[in-house]
Amino acid sequence: MFAFVLSSLVAAAAPAYPDSCPQSDARVLVGAVLNPPDTIHPTNRRARFLLDVGSDGRVRRAAMTESSGDATFDAYALAAAKQMTFVPPQEACLSPSSVAPESFDVPLIALARPAPGSSGPPVLPTSAPAADLTICAAPFVELTGLDVPDKRPAPGTVAIDVRLDASAHVMGAQLAHSSGNAQTDAAALAMARGGEYAFAPQPGCAPKPTTYELELTYH
């Protein structure tokens, strides 16, 4: 569903660790259950979302990037997206927080059903509705590069508040939640400060400075 961001940079650092940690891509652990009412009248084939996923696989935040054209279906889909859980990616004994795209197809019968008061045969939509429902909140952040230290940190989860400018460049970072181990915290803070980031595309939203909570779970 979404790629692990360390693969391009860990290769050079891989010999520093024994092959004691499995490498795996992210996958859905608990999928979405979506049961919208029969009264919906979507004008688009699907609703799309961005999910901010913590290093433990929970969805921390979700936002719609493409509407189905029906507010009720969109609300049901958003609620379902927030209930999903993932098995986070892992490489070099580390799982980071991530961004995942998710989409929900609307029932074909709903697409074929004419709206109240309309006449003529129903016509299936072929394009998405105009992006006039966009609400630009804090941007979604993708971790695109991370240097792994030569020494393996002790297991634990660290949260780092990373301040980014409008180009997703690091302006500063500070500890938000400790793992309980000072050396693991220091390693995570150094990795967060030296990391590379990008804003996930959100139609109709211009990039802007933000503070991103990067979670790093060391196994």
pLDDT at 91: 83
Q: What is the pLDDT of residue 178?
A: 98
Across 16-87, the runs of DSSP E, i.e. the strands, are 27-30, 46-53, 59-66, 85-87
pLDDT of residue 154: 94
Mean pLDDT across 12-36:
71
Task: Measure the CA–CA gap between 100 and 164, rounded to whole angstroms.
Answer: 20
Residue 2 lies in a domain: no
Give the Cβ contact number of residue 32 at 10 Å.
17
Residue 48 maps to a domain: yes
Residue 185 binned pLDDT confidence (cut-offs 50, 70, 90): very high
pLDDT tens digits, 58-102: 999 999 999 999 999 999 999 999 999 999 888 888 999 999 999
Q: Is there a domain that residue 88 lies in? A: yes
Where helices occur in 14-150 by DSSP H, the ranges are: 71-82, 108-112
Residue 17 within a domain: yes
Residue 47 lies in a domain: yes
Please report whether residue 13 resides in a domain: yes
Q: How confident is the model at residue 19 (pLDDT cuts 50, 70, 90)?
A: low
pLDDT for position 13 = 43
Cα–Cα distance, 68 to 52 (Å, whole number): 21
Domain count across the chain: 1
Q: Which of 35, 18, 49 is nearest to 202 (CA)?
A: 49
Q: Indicate the pTM of the whole model.
A: 0.81
Q: Does a structural domain hold residue 1? A: no
Look up the domain containing 192 and give its range.
7-218
- Give the tens place of pLDDT for each residue, 108-153: 877 766 656 555 555 555 555 444 455 677 899 999 998 887 888 9
Is residue 98 in some structural domain?
A: yes
